[in-house]
Amino acid sequence: MDTALARAWVQAIAAAMDTHQDRLTRLDSAIGDADHGANMHRGFAAVAAALPQYEVATPGAVLVRTGSLLISVVGGASGPLYGSAFRALGTALDAGDDTADGPASTGGTARVAGALAAGLAGVRRLGAATEGDKTMIDAYAPALVAFRVSAEAGAGLAQAAAAAADAAEQGMRATTSMQARKGRASYLGARSIGHQDPGATSTALIFRALADTAAAAKDAR
Ligand code: ADP
Ligand code: MG
Q: For residue 100, what pLDDT is reported?
A: 44
CATH of domain 3-220: 1.25.40.340
> How far is it, in rounded angstroms, from Cα 59 to Cα 14?
17
Residue 193: the pLDDT is 98
Q: Is the C-beta atom of 37 inside 6 A of ligand 1?
A: no
Q: How far apart are CA 128 and CA 214, in angstroms?
A: 31
Q: What is the pLDDT of residue 97?
A: 54
pLDDT at 57: 85
Mean pLDDT by 10 residues, the chain (221 residues): 95 98 98 98 97 89 97 95 98 75 55 97 98 98 97 94 98 98 96 98 98 93 78
pLDDT of residue 108: 86
Ligand index nearest the alpha carbon of residue 29: 2
Ligand 1 mutation pick, 26, 35, 78, 188, max ligand atoms within 8 A of CB = 78
Domains in the chain: boundaries:
3-220
pLDDT at position 166 is 98
DSSP 192: G
Look at residue 190 in the predicted model and tell me its pLDDT.
97
Burial of 9 (0-12, 13-18, 19+ CB in 10 A): buried
Q: Is the CB of 76 under 6 A from ligand 1?
A: yes
Taking phi over 0 as left and psi of -120 to 50 as alpha, with beta for the rest, 90 belongs to alpha
